[in-house]
């Protein structure tokens, strides 16, 4: 039987900086917390699916890990921080697979499934339940050490682990994120996704004049860091210890991609988180960026 203390030790050894355990099944209040009146089209629309095992076994616990990605950088950038290095889906999955391999070698009859971003699981809520931090008014999940510049990955497992308790700490409530948001999409409770710059840079199709004007407000052609950059919880945070996130390419050469075929673009940038929508969307956004 792996105890939570051993889990911490294994994670230290394989360079996963923060780990906690969330209960499974999720608490009753999950339905209310995950309910949104007007959910973003990239969100799993069916709350029941978010509460299901999403694996071919019945889990008894959820192991939640954080992957910090902050690296100080003052040079030019036209990409959001979360896309400056290798695609986090690739990196998080690799680390979680190493953790699964270690756990499996100690518990060969147990089952495991890995989840990060693309699964119906509500990643931020899982991290909150695992005691790894708290929510900001910008809706981001904040860890007291690493700030909100953390990716979240979860392993559902048949292993019995003692769940951690959610943290009692809360965001400072300074409202800087609400005041600085380029699309005014943050409120006390709701989140108006359709004016969020991050959403607009990932949305397909033509943009309205209002949408273009929101993209114009900052130099990023993919994603948005506005509400996180001003957050006091993100000041003086340490550089990520994760090697894969230390190598930075914050400036995309748009002239170069303009002349690439889709296949060439995939070969050159397929391992970056900004590539999932393809080069056409990046070139569309770039028309509204002032250099």
3-class SS at 66? strand
Based on the shown chain and the rule CB under 6 A, indicate whether residue 199 belongs to the binding site for ligand B12. Answer: yes
Q: Is 117 among the residues known to form the active site?
A: yes
Alpha-carbon distance of 236 to 225, in angstroms, equals: 16
Closer to ligand B12 at the Cβ: 2 or 225?
225
Alpha-carbon distance of 288 to 291, in angstroms, equals: 10
Q: In sequence order, what DSSP letters do the residues of 139-204 get, joined into one string?
A: S-EEBTTTBT-EEEEEEEESS--PPPPPP--------HHHHH-TT--B-SS-B-GGG-HHHHHH--
Based on the shown chain and the rule CB under 6 A, indicate whether residue 273 belongs to the binding site for ligand B12. Answer: no
Of these, 24, 95, 112, 128, which contacts ligand B12 (CB under 6 A)?
128
Closer to ligand B12 at the Cβ: 2 or 231?
231
**Contact pattern from residue 15 through residue 54 relative to ligand B12, giving x for each residue in contact according to CB under 6 A and a dash for the rest:** ------------------xx-x---x-xx-----------
Closer to ligand B12 at the Cβ: 138 or 285?
138
Based on the shown chain and the rule CB under 6 A, indicate whether residue 225 belongs to the binding site for ligand B12. Answer: yes
Which residues does 22 contact at the CB level (< 8 Å), separation at least 6?
61, 62, 64, 126, 127, 129, 130, 154, 163, 164
Give Cα 178 distance to the centre of its chain: 19
Based on the shown chain and the rule CB under 6 A, indicate whether residue 240 belongs to the binding site for ligand B12. Answer: no
Catalogue the active-site residues.
117
Residues that bind ligand B12 (CB under 6 A): 33-34, 36, 40, 42-43, 80, 82, 116-117, 119, 121-125, 128, 135, 138-141, 148, 150-152, 191, 193, 196, 198-199, 202, 223-225, 227
């Amino acid at each position: 039987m792996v105890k939570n203390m051993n889990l911490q030790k294994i994670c230290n050894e394989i360079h996963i900086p923060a780990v906690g355990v969330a209960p499974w099944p999720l608490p009753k209040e999950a339905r209310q917390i995950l309910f949104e009146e007007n959910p973003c089209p990239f969100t799993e629309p069916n709350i029941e699916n978010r509460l299901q095992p999403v694996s071919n076994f019945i889990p008894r616990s959820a192991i939640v890990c954080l992957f910090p990605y902050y690296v100080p950088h003052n040079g030019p950038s036209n990409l959001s921080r979360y896309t400056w290095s290798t695609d986090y889906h690739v990196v998080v999955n690799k680390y979680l697979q190493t953790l699964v391999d270690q756990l499996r070698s100690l518990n060969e009859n147990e089952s495991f499934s890995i989840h990060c971003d693309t699964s119906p699981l509500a990643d931020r809520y899982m991290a909150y339940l695992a005691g790894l931090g708290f929510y900001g008014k910008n809706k981001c999940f904040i860890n007291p050490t690493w700030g909100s510049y953390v990716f979240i990955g979860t392993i559902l497992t048949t292993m019995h682990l003692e769940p951690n308790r959610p943290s009692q700490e809360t965001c400072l409530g300074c409202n800087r994120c609400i005041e600085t948001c380029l699309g005014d999409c943050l409120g006390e409770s709701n989140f108006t996704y359709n004016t969020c710059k991050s959403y607009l840079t990932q949305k397909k199709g033509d943009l309205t004049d209002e949408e273009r004007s929101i993209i114009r407000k900052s130099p990023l052609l993919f994603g948005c860091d506005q509400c996180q950059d001003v957050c006091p919880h993100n000041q003086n945070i340490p550089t990520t210890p994760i090697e894969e996130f230390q190598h930075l390419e914050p400036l995309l050469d748009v002239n170069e991609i303009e002349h690439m075929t889709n296949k060439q673009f995939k070969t050159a940038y397929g391992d970056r988180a900004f590539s999932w929508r393809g080069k056409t969307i990046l070139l569309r956004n770039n028309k509204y960026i002032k250099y």
